[in-house]
């Protein structure tokens, strides 16, 4: 009873998460197409790799189904975690994908969007409907109903494999973000009042380079603490025209 209460509290806590996945389920196909195809063709292998990566490749932290199932901690994980994980991903593939998802959500406070919930819910409903049609076809014995149930079961399996592959790709992209595979995030443009900080480096000169042997004169301003220059210095620029005393008398 206490375990069920703890799970209910965890589910309620996940509803208050505010972070979102780096890519939603609809965008994973275009975000990482090769990995999504790999997850479709070999889902258990991908689930094994993603769980190891979610645990930072430290298998001493492994628990069967991430600690979310009644069998967790009772399968000899401490003695041979690699074998236990391999057994989990092949015999309980759906639970292995869901457990990795829950681990990432709890670690990064990631919520599941309404669109993702609809896709996952549709997958489960389609599987249940296909199972009910199969049972009815067996009881009634109708050939037409049996063929319809087989088509529905095939469609449910295709949707299941596709959604699981998209979920695994979503997990992989999120861990890429965690591990810095995307590189540093671009810096935002600072506001105007921060554009001239005193600790910023001097920008490089622009325009044409000065001619060889030419040094631009520097005239200090008296307000900066320098003594006032002699009368007539610095020379006026541009010089007055015509210059004083011209033409000669």
Which range, of 88-102, 114-128, 139-153, 228-242, averages the lowest pLDDT?
228-242
pLDDT tens for 24-67 read 898 999 999 999 999 999 999 999 999 999 999 989 899 888 87
d(CA 221, CA 59): 69
- Judged by average pLDDT, the poorest of 117-126, 128-137, 196-205, 219-228 is 196-205
In a domain, 89, yes or no: yes
Kindly indicate the confidence band of residue 248, based on its pLDDT and cuts at 50, 70 and 90.
low
| 201 within domain boundaries | no
CA atoms of 139 and 159, how far apart (whole Å) = 26
pLDDT at position 75, please?
Answer: 78
**Closest C-alpha among 125, 96, 107 to residue 21:** 107
Q: What is the pLDDT of residue 133?
A: 84
Whether residue 62 is contained in a domain is answered as: yes
Q: Flag whether 212 is in a domain.
A: no
Establish if 218 belongs to a structural domain: no
Q: What is the pTM of this model?
A: 0.66
Count of domains forming the chain:
1
**Per the domain annotation, does 114 fall within a domain?**
yes
Q: pLDDT-based confidence at 235, cuts 50/70/90?
A: low
For 10, the domain range is: 2-178
Residue 247 lies in a domain: no
* Bond into 203 cis (ω within 30): no
Q: Per the domain annotation, does 230 fall within a domain? A: no
Tokens of 60: 């001493």
């Amino acid at each position: 009873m206490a375990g069920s209460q703890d799970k209910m509290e965890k589910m309620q806590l996940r509803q208050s998460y505010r972070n979102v996945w780096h890519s939603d389920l609809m965008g994973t196909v275009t975000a990482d197409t090769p990995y999504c195809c790999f997850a479709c063709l070999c889902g258990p292998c991908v689930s094994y790799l993603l769980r190891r990566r979610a645990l930072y490749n430290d298998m001493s932290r492994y628990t069967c189904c991430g600690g979310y199932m009644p069998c967790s901690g009772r399968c000899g994980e401490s003695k041979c975690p690699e074998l236990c994980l391999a057994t989990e991903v092949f015999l309980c593939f759906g639970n292995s994908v869901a457990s990795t998802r829950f681990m990432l959500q709890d670690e990064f406070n990631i919520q599941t969007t309404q669109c993702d919930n609809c896709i996952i819910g549709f997958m489960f409903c389609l599987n249940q409907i296909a199972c009910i049609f199969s049972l009815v076809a067996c009881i009634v014995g109708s050939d037409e109903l049996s063929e319809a149930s087989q088509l529905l079961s095939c469609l449910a399996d295709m949707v299941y494999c596709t959604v699981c592959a998209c979920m695994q790709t979503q997990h992989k992209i999120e861990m890429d973000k965690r591990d810095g595979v995307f590189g540093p995030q671009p810096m935002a443009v600072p506001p105007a009042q921060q554009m001239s900080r005193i600790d910023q480096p001097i920008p490089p000169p622009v325009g044409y380079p000065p001619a060889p042997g030419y040094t631009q004169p520097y005239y200090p301003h008296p307000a900066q603490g320098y003594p006032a220059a002699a009368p007539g210095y610095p020379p006026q620029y541009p010089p007055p025209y015509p210059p004083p005393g011209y033409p000669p008398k």
